[in-house]
Amino acid sequence: MIEPGVVSFNDGSWKTMERNVRGTLKLNCKDANDQIKAYVVTGAVPNNNKTKLNNRVNIPYLMWTAYCCENKKYKKNKKWMAGAYWGLNKEGTGALDQQTLGALEIMLNRYYKGKDGPVKVFPEDCPRGPKPTTSP
């Protein structure tokens, strides 16, 4: 993802979170050829602050990422798993704890209320709660 971020956030909390997501995907989201197969989406909530980088670029208030994949532990039932992380793009942001996809969507809907309905990061196969879901 290319966006202006606070260096300590990018090199600290965010980098650790990316390592954690990669570890989760390597452990749970591999296909029959032992390759990681997952959907990962990353985004940012713009800052309302009028200060811009180089007087042009908005520095995000908050950054988030989410993943969804078929959990290889449930080959016969095709269960999906998902997770999400987000944090304030500022100095001193501590460790980012894994959250549910549903919690991320609730948080994003506080910022984005539009005519297109509620924010949905992934299709329905991806579980919004903490438990894997079965594909229809």
Write out the residue range of the structural domain in which residue 119 sits: 7-134
Helix (H) or strand (E) holding 85: strand 79-88
Its pTM stands at: 0.83
Helix H or strand E encompassing 24: helix 15-28
Within a domain: 112: yes
List, as one string, the DSSP characters of 41-84: EEEEEPP--S-EETTTEEPPSEEEEEEEEE-GGGTTTTEEEEEE
Q: Is residue 15 part of a domain?
A: yes
Which residues share a beta bridge with 86? 64
Q: How sure is the predictor about 82, in pLDDT bands with cuts at 50, 70 and 90?
A: very high
Per the structure, the count of domains in the chain is: 1
Residue 72 included in any domain = yes
Q: Give the pLDDT of residue 72.
A: 80
Residue 126 lies in a domain: yes
The reply to whether 1 falls in a domain is no
Per-residue pLDDT of 38-58, as tens digits, reads 999 999 998 887 777 777 778
Q: What is the pLDDT of residue 73?
A: 75
- The verdict on residue 85 lying in a domain is yes
